[in-house]
Amino acid sequence: MAGEIQKKQSFEERMLERIRDSIGELMTDDELKKIIERGMNTVFFDPTDVKDGYSIRQEPALIEKILKDLLKDQVQREVMEYLKDNKALVTQTIEKIIKLGMGAALMDAITWQFQNDLNNFQTNLMNTIQTR
């Protein structure tokens, strides 16, 4: 019919049609649909094992890679907007971290100094005992 509007096919529908044309009558539409669905789940949602020399490392699923690329700019904009809208909270948090970090660094320096002095005292004491 010349005046009919054709519905746009989804990726899955196009794949189903293409495979159906190739395979013909070997399997039912339901069987074919299950195979395609299983394959798409595997391709998009399962992590991939990649041989890296003598070891095997796992890469994220394809959907993770695609979403990461697609959403990177948007997430960055949202974070910048949040930081701009919450300057007081961000500044307070940064100051808290610096104070805690400085306190920890100061404690580490004091501990190192005491350990150094104690080690020197121990060495001097051992030398004194051995020479008598």
| 45-67: pLDDT as tens digits | 999 898 888 999 999 999 999 99
For residue 40, the model assigns a pLDDT of 87
Residue 20 lies in a domain: no
For residue 24, the model assigns a pLDDT of 63
Number of domains making up the chain: 1
Residue 59 lies in a domain: no
- Average pLDDT (30-46) is 86
* Cα gap 17→8, rounded to integer Å: 13
Q: Are 50 and 65 in contact (CB under 8 A)?
A: no
Residue 118 lies in a domain: yes
| Residue 115 clears pLDDT 90, i.e. is over it | no
Whether the model pTM is above 0.75: no
Residue 126 lies in a domain: yes
Instruction: Give the domain range for residue 106.
Output: 86-132
| Residue 35 clears pLDDT 80, i.e. is over it | yes
Residue 111 lies in a domain: yes
Q: How far is CA 113 from the centre of its chain?
A: 40
Residue 35 lies in a domain: no
Residue 114 lies in a domain: yes
Given its phi and psi angles, is residue 82 left (phi above 0), alpha (psi -120 to 50 degrees) or beta? alpha
Residue 65 lies in a domain: no
